[in-house]
Amino acid sequence: MSAANGTNELLVSVEGGAGRLRLNRPRALHALTRDMCLAITQALLAWRDDPAVRLVLLDHAPSADGDPKLSRGFCAGGDVRALWESARVDGVAARDFFRDEYQTNHLLFTFAKPIVAFMHGITMGGGVGISQPAKYRVVTERTVFAMPETGIGLFPDVGGGWYLSRLPGRMGEFVALTGARLDGADCVALGLATHFIPSADLDAVKARLIAAPDEVEAILAAATTAPPPSAILTRQAEIDRLFAADRYEDILDALEADGGEWATAQRAVLAEKSPMACKVSLRLVRQGRDHRDFAEEMRVEYRLACHIVQRHDFVEGVRALLVDKDNAPQWDPPAPGRVSDHLIDTIFSPLAEADEWRPLSA
């Protein structure tokens, strides 16, 4: 059986005992649209009680014309340009996108059948959101993992507050604030991935999984190789020390006071980020450690998304980095000290009851 959604952005099929979800927007590095999220949800709901589907494989389709440049991303995130266009009008489509995307994230997180996500290539933002819920998360030597949202006035959403808050020490704060890029070895070391498999072996592994879906653990274990040493783990002690403060300004002061080459580089990175987005992200990671379940995480993140998407920093950040590409965003407020606790409290405040996020009903 094989089917695809109307725009061919997501290829949906059942092969052997495996349901397959293949992202298919190569020229956009498979960035997620609302239609893609809805199609993922529709497929998962159809497969939930289908005995013929015993395993779900989530990856990206290769470029039809064979261009390797178009096959370098698993998923670069959400369709930020579409969100930006909505934010400049009334924000309705943007809020609809976040609601549906987060319902997809939650369904993946709670799906009873095992899911294997192949985080091969660029895995950022929305790509993190659809891969991290999977029981099995495969990385390769070409994996590039990041949550770079503070650079566009947003925050690490799609469950970022849950996943990053559960990284060792203050690694979550570091990744959320700086948008640091992690490779496959880093992902395995931090628990963001379960298996490291050379990219040349992926097609054969997928074929074996399709043929014997009940042997998923043995197949992945047999294909796994030892990753290189993790570079980010060598910085764990520095990260734990420099990103320990509860106040964003204190983290900046710690980086300034350290004066070392690495700390100075991180301070320079943070100088380019939205101060408002950084304060929101820091609170989200800290608060995420106390969230009782993933639905609570998604409910909080939806509030943040609704409050932020039409604020100046998101509109300006996308303009500067992705539309005009002048890389010179003018943040408002322009400095961390000007971002009041009241503003952050407002962004975290509940929505009207009818507008709050809810998971899909059973």
- Would you tell me which CATH number, out of the four given (3.40.50.300, 3.90.226.10, 3.30.565.10, 1.10.10.10), belongs to the domain 2-355? 3.90.226.10
At 354, give phi and psi (nearest 5°): -70, -20
Q: How far is CA 101 from CA 228, 241, 277, 292, 294, in A?
A: 34, 35, 20, 21, 14
The predicted pLDDT at position 167 comes to 98
Please say if the pLDDT value at position 220 is more than 80: yes
The whole-model pTM stands at 0.95
User: Hey, which residues are catalytic here?
Assistant: 78, 126, 149, 157
**CB neighbour class for 218 (10 Å; exposed up to 12, middle 13-18, buried from 19):** exposed
Give the separation between CA 331 and CA 109, rounded to whole angstroms.
34
The 10s digit of each residue's pLDDT in 321-341 is: 999 999 999 999 999 999 999
Average pLDDT, the chain: 95
Q: Is the pLDDT of residue 7 over 60?
A: no
pLDDT of residue 68: 59
Read off the pLDDT of residues 286-314 as tens digits, 9 standing for 90 and up: 999 999 999 999 999 999 999 999 999 99
Please name the residue that has the structure tokens 């497969």: 47
pLDDT of residue 4 exceeding 60, the answer is no
Q: Is the pLDDT of residue 2 over 50?
A: no
- What are 104-117's pLDDT values in tens digits? 999 999 999 999 99
What six digits make up the tokens of 14?
Answer: 């059942």
Q: For 147-197, what is each residue's pLDDT tens digit?
A: 999 999 999 999 999 999 999 999 999 999 999 999 999 999 999 999 999
Percent over 70 (pLDDT), the chain? 96
State both tokens at 204.
Answer: 């054969």
Note the pLDDT of residue 67.
60
9-14, Cβ contacts within 8 angstroms, sequence gap of 24 or more: 9/33, 9/35, 9/36, 9/39, 10/35, 10/36, 10/39, 10/40, 11/61, 12/39, 12/43, 14/47, 14/52, 14/53
